[in-house]
A and B are shown apart, each in its own frame.
Chain A
Amino acid sequence: MSAAQPLDHVLRHNTWATVTLLEFCAALDPVTLEMSAVGTYGTLYGTLQHLVGAEQWYLQLLTGDLLGRPRIRRTDRHPLPELATTASLTGARVLEVVATDDVTRRIEMNEGRGSTVGVILAQLVHHGNEHRAQATTILGANGIEPPPVSGWGYGRATGISEAEE
Protein backbone atom coordinates (compact mmCIF):
# COMPACT_ATOMS: atom_id res chain seq x y z
CA MET A 1 0.00 0.00 0.00
CA SER A 2 1.32 3.42 -0.85
CA ALA A 3 0.36 6.38 1.31
CA ALA A 4 -1.03 8.80 -1.25
CA GLN A 5 -1.45 11.74 1.12
CA PRO A 6 0.66 12.77 4.11
CA LEU A 7 -2.09 11.99 6.63
CA ASP A 8 -3.16 8.80 4.87
CA HIS A 9 -1.82 6.18 7.29
CA VAL A 10 -2.83 8.27 10.29
CA LEU A 11 -6.45 8.38 9.08
CA ARG A 12 -6.46 4.74 8.03
CA HIS A 13 -5.16 3.83 11.49
CA ASN A 14 -7.91 5.90 13.05
CA THR A 15 -10.67 4.04 11.22
CA TRP A 16 -9.05 0.62 11.66
CA ALA A 17 -8.61 1.21 15.40
CA THR A 18 -12.20 2.35 15.91
CA VAL A 19 -13.65 -0.58 13.96
CA THR A 20 -11.33 -3.02 15.78
CA LEU A 21 -12.47 -1.65 19.12
CA LEU A 22 -16.15 -1.79 18.11
CA GLU A 23 -15.84 -5.39 16.91
CA PHE A 24 -14.07 -6.34 20.14
CA CYS A 25 -16.76 -4.70 22.26
CA ALA A 26 -19.57 -6.24 20.20
CA ALA A 27 -18.32 -9.68 21.24
CA LEU A 28 -18.46 -8.84 24.96
CA ASP A 29 -21.29 -9.57 27.35
CA PRO A 30 -23.68 -6.62 26.80
CA VAL A 31 -23.49 -5.88 30.52
CA THR A 32 -19.88 -4.83 29.92
CA LEU A 33 -21.04 -1.96 27.74
CA GLU A 34 -22.63 -0.31 30.76
CA MET A 35 -19.33 -0.28 32.64
CA SER A 36 -17.31 2.86 33.22
CA ALA A 37 -14.19 4.00 35.05
CA VAL A 38 -13.53 7.12 37.07
CA GLY A 39 -12.00 9.96 35.08
CA THR A 40 -13.33 8.80 31.72
CA TYR A 41 -16.16 10.12 29.55
CA GLY A 42 -18.97 7.85 30.77
CA THR A 43 -20.06 4.31 30.04
CA LEU A 44 -18.28 2.23 27.43
CA TYR A 45 -21.42 2.24 25.30
CA GLY A 46 -21.83 6.02 25.53
CA THR A 47 -18.16 6.57 24.74
CA LEU A 48 -18.42 4.48 21.58
CA GLN A 49 -21.60 6.26 20.45
CA HIS A 50 -19.90 9.63 20.97
CA LEU A 51 -16.69 8.53 19.25
CA VAL A 52 -18.48 7.66 16.02
CA GLY A 53 -21.04 10.47 16.22
CA ALA A 54 -18.30 13.08 16.51
CA GLU A 55 -16.61 11.76 13.38
CA GLN A 56 -19.93 12.07 11.57
CA TRP A 57 -19.98 15.73 12.63
CA TYR A 58 -16.37 16.42 11.63
CA LEU A 59 -17.05 14.95 8.19
CA GLN A 60 -20.24 17.00 7.93
CA LEU A 61 -18.19 20.11 8.67
CA LEU A 62 -15.69 19.17 5.98
CA THR A 63 -18.13 18.09 3.27
CA GLY A 64 -21.64 19.14 4.24
CA ASP A 65 -22.68 15.49 4.12
CA LEU A 66 -23.94 13.42 7.04
CA LEU A 67 -23.06 9.76 6.51
CA GLY A 68 -24.86 7.00 8.39
CA ARG A 69 -27.97 9.00 9.26
CA PRO A 70 -29.17 9.94 11.80
CA ARG A 71 -26.45 11.84 13.65
CA ILE A 72 -25.33 9.60 16.52
CA ARG A 73 -25.54 11.05 20.01
CA ARG A 74 -23.83 9.95 23.22
CA THR A 75 -27.13 8.84 24.75
CA ASP A 76 -28.18 6.79 21.69
CA ARG A 77 -28.23 3.00 21.68
CA HIS A 78 -27.13 2.17 18.17
CA PRO A 79 -25.91 -1.43 17.78
CA LEU A 80 -22.13 -1.64 17.59
CA PRO A 81 -22.05 -3.20 14.09
CA GLU A 82 -24.03 -0.18 12.90
CA LEU A 83 -21.46 2.12 14.49
CA ALA A 84 -18.68 0.17 12.76
CA THR A 85 -20.40 0.63 9.41
CA THR A 86 -20.73 4.37 9.97
CA ALA A 87 -17.10 4.62 11.13
CA SER A 88 -15.97 2.88 7.95
CA LEU A 89 -18.07 5.17 5.78
CA THR A 90 -16.78 8.35 7.40
CA GLY A 91 -13.22 7.03 7.40
CA ALA A 92 -13.31 6.33 3.66
CA ARG A 93 -14.79 9.74 2.94
CA VAL A 94 -12.19 11.57 5.01
CA LEU A 95 -9.50 9.99 2.85
CA GLU A 96 -11.17 11.61 -0.14
CA VAL A 97 -11.22 14.95 1.68
CA VAL A 98 -7.47 14.96 2.38
CA ALA A 99 -6.81 14.08 -1.26
CA THR A 100 -8.68 17.11 -2.56
CA ASP A 101 -9.24 19.75 0.12
CA ASP A 102 -7.14 22.75 1.13
CA VAL A 103 -5.99 22.61 4.77
CA THR A 104 -6.23 26.39 5.05
CA ARG A 105 -9.85 26.56 3.86
CA ARG A 106 -12.09 28.08 6.54
CA ILE A 107 -15.28 26.34 7.60
CA GLU A 108 -18.16 27.65 9.66
CA MET A 109 -18.81 25.43 12.67
CA ASN A 110 -21.40 26.17 15.32
CA GLU A 111 -22.28 29.17 17.45
CA GLY A 112 -20.57 31.45 14.96
CA ARG A 113 -17.20 29.75 15.24
CA GLY A 114 -15.01 29.02 12.25
CA SER A 115 -12.07 26.67 11.78
CA THR A 116 -9.62 25.59 9.12
CA VAL A 117 -9.77 22.17 7.47
CA GLY A 118 -6.35 21.32 8.92
CA VAL A 119 -7.45 21.89 12.52
CA ILE A 120 -10.60 19.81 12.02
CA LEU A 121 -8.50 16.94 10.69
CA ALA A 122 -6.13 17.22 13.66
CA GLN A 123 -9.16 17.24 15.97
CA LEU A 124 -10.59 14.15 14.29
CA VAL A 125 -7.32 12.26 14.89
CA HIS A 126 -7.02 13.54 18.47
CA HIS A 127 -10.65 12.79 19.28
CA GLY A 128 -10.55 9.21 18.00
CA ASN A 129 -7.41 8.36 19.93
CA GLU A 130 -8.63 10.15 23.07
CA HIS A 131 -11.92 8.28 23.33
CA ARG A 132 -10.47 4.93 22.30
CA ALA A 133 -7.99 5.42 25.15
CA GLN A 134 -10.89 6.08 27.50
CA ALA A 135 -12.63 2.94 26.23
CA THR A 136 -9.51 0.83 26.80
CA THR A 137 -9.14 2.41 30.24
CA ILE A 138 -12.69 1.28 31.07
CA LEU A 139 -11.93 -2.22 29.80
CA GLY A 140 -8.68 -2.43 31.75
CA ALA A 141 -10.23 -1.04 34.92
CA ASN A 142 -12.82 -3.80 34.72
CA GLY A 143 -10.32 -6.60 34.22
CA ILE A 144 -10.68 -6.99 30.46
CA GLU A 145 -7.51 -6.93 28.34
CA PRO A 146 -8.20 -4.33 25.59
CA PRO A 147 -7.54 -5.08 21.92
CA PRO A 148 -4.30 -3.68 20.45
CA VAL A 149 -5.34 -0.49 18.65
CA SER A 150 -1.96 1.25 18.34
CA GLY A 151 -0.27 2.43 15.18
CA TRP A 152 1.95 -0.64 15.45
CA GLY A 153 -1.17 -2.81 15.62
CA TYR A 154 -2.47 -1.18 12.46
CA GLY A 155 0.83 -1.84 10.69
CA ARG A 156 0.73 -5.51 11.67
CA ALA A 157 -2.96 -5.98 10.86
CA THR A 158 -2.54 -4.53 7.38
CA GLY A 159 0.68 -6.43 6.69
CA ILE A 160 2.61 -3.18 6.20
CA SER A 161 4.90 -3.56 9.18
CA GLU A 162 5.94 -6.07 11.82
CA ALA A 163 6.89 -3.46 14.40
CA GLU A 164 5.64 -4.02 17.94
CA GLU A 165 5.66 -2.07 21.18
Chain B
Amino acid sequence: MSDLAIAIDYDNWATEKVAVFCAALSQEQRALTTPGTMGTIAATLIHLVAAKERYAASLRGTPPPDDAVRETTTTDLGQVVARAKALSEWFGSYGKGTIDLDRVIERRAADGTTQRVPIGILIAQLLHHGNEHRAQLGSILGANGIEPPHYSAFNWGHELGKISS
Protein backbone atom coordinates (compact mmCIF):
# COMPACT_ATOMS: atom_id res chain seq x y z
CA MET B 1 0.00 0.00 0.00
CA SER B 2 1.32 3.48 -0.88
CA ASP B 3 1.67 6.41 1.50
CA LEU B 4 -1.16 8.08 -0.40
CA ALA B 5 -3.46 5.09 0.00
CA ILE B 6 -2.82 5.22 3.75
CA ALA B 7 -3.64 8.94 3.89
CA ILE B 8 -6.86 8.34 1.93
CA ASP B 9 -7.85 5.46 4.20
CA TYR B 10 -7.32 7.74 7.20
CA ASP B 11 -9.44 10.48 5.61
CA ASN B 12 -12.25 7.98 5.03
CA TRP B 13 -12.13 6.75 8.61
CA ALA B 14 -12.05 10.24 10.11
CA THR B 15 -14.94 11.55 8.06
CA GLU B 16 -17.07 8.52 8.87
CA LYS B 17 -16.23 8.86 12.56
CA VAL B 18 -17.20 12.54 12.63
CA ALA B 19 -20.34 11.93 10.54
CA VAL B 20 -21.60 9.17 12.83
CA PHE B 21 -20.88 11.33 15.89
CA CYS B 22 -22.68 14.39 14.50
CA ALA B 23 -25.65 12.39 13.22
CA ALA B 24 -26.23 11.17 16.77
CA LEU B 25 -26.54 14.71 18.12
CA SER B 26 -29.90 16.33 18.88
CA GLN B 27 -31.48 18.72 16.41
CA GLU B 28 -30.56 21.60 18.70
CA GLN B 29 -26.93 20.49 18.85
CA ARG B 30 -26.75 20.08 15.06
CA ALA B 31 -27.71 23.75 14.77
CA LEU B 32 -24.76 24.90 16.89
CA THR B 33 -21.91 26.92 15.42
CA THR B 34 -19.03 29.14 16.53
CA PRO B 35 -17.50 32.29 15.00
CA GLY B 36 -14.86 31.80 12.32
CA THR B 37 -16.22 28.49 11.01
CA MET B 38 -18.37 27.94 7.93
CA GLY B 39 -21.72 27.49 9.68
CA THR B 40 -23.68 25.01 11.75
CA ILE B 41 -22.61 21.47 12.54
CA ALA B 42 -25.20 20.10 10.10
CA ALA B 43 -24.23 22.48 7.28
CA THR B 44 -20.52 21.81 7.76
CA LEU B 45 -20.96 18.04 7.75
CA ILE B 46 -23.20 18.14 4.68
CA HIS B 47 -20.67 20.33 2.85
CA LEU B 48 -17.79 18.06 3.88
CA VAL B 49 -19.47 14.99 2.36
CA ALA B 50 -21.04 16.84 -0.61
CA ALA B 51 -17.60 18.07 -1.65
CA LYS B 52 -16.26 14.54 -1.36
CA GLU B 53 -19.09 13.43 -3.67
CA ARG B 54 -17.89 15.99 -6.23
CA TYR B 55 -14.24 14.93 -5.94
CA ALA B 56 -15.25 11.31 -6.51
CA ALA B 57 -17.43 12.28 -9.48
CA SER B 58 -14.52 14.21 -11.02
CA LEU B 59 -12.19 11.24 -10.60
CA ARG B 60 -14.78 8.80 -11.99
CA GLY B 61 -15.70 11.14 -14.83
CA THR B 62 -19.40 10.68 -14.13
CA PRO B 63 -22.00 12.88 -12.36
CA PRO B 64 -22.71 12.20 -8.66
CA PRO B 65 -25.38 9.50 -8.11
CA ASP B 66 -29.01 10.41 -7.48
CA ASP B 67 -28.66 9.81 -3.76
CA ALA B 68 -25.49 11.92 -3.47
CA VAL B 69 -25.25 14.43 -0.66
CA ARG B 70 -25.84 17.99 -1.89
CA GLU B 71 -25.67 21.23 0.04
CA THR B 72 -28.83 22.46 -1.67
CA THR B 73 -31.14 19.54 -0.89
CA THR B 74 -29.73 17.21 1.78
CA THR B 75 -31.08 17.51 5.32
CA ASP B 76 -31.01 13.90 6.54
CA LEU B 77 -27.73 13.23 8.39
CA GLY B 78 -28.49 9.51 8.22
CA GLN B 79 -28.14 9.83 4.46
CA VAL B 80 -24.89 11.71 5.00
CA VAL B 81 -23.51 8.86 7.09
CA ALA B 82 -24.58 6.29 4.48
CA ARG B 83 -22.98 8.26 1.66
CA ALA B 84 -19.80 8.84 3.72
CA LYS B 85 -19.49 5.07 4.08
CA ALA B 86 -20.14 4.51 0.37
CA LEU B 87 -17.55 7.15 -0.53
CA SER B 88 -15.07 5.51 1.84
CA GLU B 89 -15.46 2.27 -0.07
CA TRP B 90 -14.95 3.98 -3.39
CA PHE B 91 -11.98 6.10 -2.34
CA GLY B 92 -10.42 3.19 -0.47
CA SER B 93 -10.43 1.14 -3.65
CA TYR B 94 -9.33 4.09 -5.77
CA GLY B 95 -6.40 4.88 -3.47
CA LYS B 96 -5.08 1.34 -3.69
CA GLY B 97 -5.07 1.38 -7.49
CA THR B 98 -2.54 2.89 -9.85
CA ILE B 99 -3.07 6.65 -9.94
CA ASP B 100 -1.61 8.92 -12.59
CA LEU B 101 -1.29 12.06 -10.48
CA ASP B 102 -0.29 14.20 -13.46
CA ARG B 103 -3.31 13.29 -15.58
CA VAL B 104 -5.53 16.31 -16.13
CA ILE B 105 -9.25 15.79 -15.59
CA GLU B 106 -12.30 18.05 -15.72
CA ARG B 107 -14.33 19.05 -12.70
CA ARG B 108 -17.46 21.11 -12.12
CA ALA B 109 -16.74 24.02 -9.80
CA ALA B 110 -19.25 25.34 -7.28
CA ASP B 111 -20.27 28.05 -9.74
CA GLY B 112 -21.04 25.44 -12.41
CA THR B 113 -18.03 26.18 -14.59
CA THR B 114 -15.80 23.40 -15.87
CA GLN B 115 -12.20 23.43 -14.69
CA ARG B 116 -9.20 21.33 -15.68
CA VAL B 117 -7.04 20.03 -12.85
CA PRO B 118 -4.30 17.40 -12.41
CA ILE B 119 -5.41 14.49 -10.23
CA GLY B 120 -2.55 15.17 -7.81
CA ILE B 121 -3.94 18.62 -7.04
CA LEU B 122 -7.48 17.32 -6.63
CA ILE B 123 -6.25 14.73 -4.12
CA ALA B 124 -4.29 17.38 -2.20
CA GLN B 125 -7.54 19.37 -2.06
CA LEU B 126 -9.53 16.27 -1.00
CA LEU B 127 -7.27 15.66 1.99
CA HIS B 128 -7.03 19.34 2.90
CA HIS B 129 -10.79 19.81 2.67
CA GLY B 130 -11.63 16.84 4.85
CA ASN B 131 -9.17 17.84 7.53
CA GLU B 132 -10.21 21.50 7.44
CA HIS B 133 -13.91 20.91 7.92
CA ARG B 134 -13.42 18.16 10.49
CA ALA B 135 -11.30 20.69 12.41
CA GLN B 136 -14.12 23.23 12.16
CA LEU B 137 -16.56 20.65 13.51
CA GLY B 138 -14.12 19.95 16.34
CA SER B 139 -14.01 23.68 17.10
CA ILE B 140 -17.81 24.03 17.06
CA LEU B 141 -18.23 21.02 19.34
CA GLY B 142 -15.53 22.18 21.75
CA ALA B 143 -16.84 25.74 21.79
CA ASN B 144 -20.23 24.43 22.83
CA GLY B 145 -19.00 22.15 25.58
CA ILE B 146 -19.20 18.89 23.63
CA GLU B 147 -16.08 16.70 23.64
CA PRO B 148 -15.29 16.01 19.98
CA PRO B 149 -14.55 12.46 18.82
CA HIS B 150 -10.87 11.57 18.65
CA TYR B 151 -10.19 11.57 14.93
CA SER B 152 -6.46 12.18 14.46
CA ALA B 153 -4.37 9.86 12.32
CA PHE B 154 -2.67 8.64 15.49
CA ASN B 155 -6.11 7.71 16.86
CA TRP B 156 -6.78 5.88 13.60
CA GLY B 157 -3.45 4.09 13.74
CA HIS B 158 -4.13 3.04 17.30
CA GLU B 159 -7.56 1.71 16.40
CA LEU B 160 -6.08 -0.28 13.53
CA GLY B 161 -3.26 -1.62 15.66
CA LYS B 162 -0.66 0.21 13.58
CA ILE B 163 0.30 2.09 16.73
CA SER B 164 1.12 -0.06 19.70
CA SER B 165 0.68 1.25 23.20
Contacts and interface: CB of A to CB of B under 8 A. Distances in A.
B63 interface: no
A108 B165 CA distance: 10
A125 B7 contact: yes
Q: Which of B4, B131, B143 has most A Cβ within 10 Å?
A: B4
Contacts of A116: 157, 162-163
B128 A17 contact: yes
B24 interface: no
Interface string B108-122: 011000011110111
Interface stretch (B64-72, B73-81, B84-92, B133-141): B133-141
Interface string A3-41: 101111110110001000000000000000000011110
A122 B6 contact: yes
Contacts of A121: 3, 6-7
A5 B4 CA distance: 9
Given A39-B140, A151-B129, A162-B116, A9 B124 contact: yes
Interface string A48-68: 000000000000000000000
A10 B165 contact: no
Contact of A125 (B110, B131, B135, B142): B131
Contacts of B127: 10, 125, 129, 151
A139 B36 contact: yes
Instruction: Name the interface size band of chain A.
Output: 35 or more
A88 interface: no
A5 B6 CA distance: 13
Instruction: Name the interface size band of chain B.
Output: 35 or more
B59 interface: no
Q: B-side binding surface: helix, strand, loop or mixed?
A: helix
Contacts of B138: 39, 130
Contacts of B139: 37-40, 133-134, 137
A6 B6 CA distance: 11
B135 A9 contact: no
A155 B126 CA distance: 13
A151 B122 contact: yes
Contacts of A70: none
A132 B138 CA distance: 13
B10 A130 contact: no
Contact of A113 (B10, B121, B132, B165): B165
Contacts of B5: 6
Contacts of B118: 9, 155, 160-161
B29 to A, nearest CB: 14
Given A115-B162, A126-B152, A162-B116, A7 B4 contact: yes
B109 A163 contact: yes
Contacts of B1: 103, 118
4 nearest CB pairs, A to B = A151-B125, A39-B143, A141-B36, A129-B131
Interface of A: 2-3, 5-10, 12-13, 17, 37-40, 98, 103, 109, 112-119, 121-123, 125-134, 136-142, 149-152, 154-155, 160-165
